[in-house]
Amino acid sequence: MGILAGWGQWVGRGGARASEPVAPSPAPGPGPAQALRAVDERIAAFCDKYSPDIAAQMREARARLHALVPRGYELVYDTRDALVLAIGPTPRSADALLSVVGYPRWVGLFFLHGSGLQAPAGLLQPAGDDRLGLRLRSAADLSRPDVQALLQQAMAARAAAFRSAPPLVTLIKAQALQQRSRRPGRTPRPTV
């Protein structure tokens, strides 16, 4: 595998893709391991904007999601308000099924098509149209039996699509130029 001219890079872990243009070069580009490392370094930098506790929780939740969902696409959005790590069977944002989202004071797990999930009363809270979510006290909450059951329900509807998906591919879909502070109690300032 190597760099594709145009939009993005496919590498390593089944691949990773950066969503900004990659300039064609007459010399060979970085190998898959280097490109994967570059994408992981960017995601680490996104996490480093948070307090150490939230950053550690985001990293651990990401690692646990990778273990739970070895095939498909991880869609990364470093938005104005939060860092979103979504998982889906295709690179289309609309096909994402779940996400881990980091906010300044907490990390949440969201089921993006959650209206049909059978959850214990009070476990999930409405989080927008057809979305349900819960606050994670720690990334270990992803291993709780009730949360595991919800993850299995959410994935079951698209099991065939995940089976036919490549090994997990990371796509950095967006990075906002101006962002609110990712640490509680700090004055928001633009980041470039």
Per-residue pLDDT of the chain (192 residues; tens, 9 = 90+): 222 222 333 333 444 344 443 334 445 556 777 877 888 999 999 999 999 999 999 999 999 999 999 999 999 999 988 999 999 999 999 999 999 999 999 999 998 877 777 777 778 776 777 778 888 999 999 999 999 988 988 889 899 999 999 999 999 998 888 777 778 775 555 554
Q: Is 191 within the bounds of a domain? A: no
Report helix, strand or coil for 189.
coil
Q: How many domains does the chain have?
A: 1
Q: Is 53 within the bounds of a domain? A: yes
Domain span including residue 63: 6-175
Q: Report yes or no: 55 and 85 within 8 Å, Cβ to Cβ.
A: no
Q: Is 189 within the bounds of a domain? A: no
Per DSSP bridges, beta strands 73-78 and 169-175 are: parallel
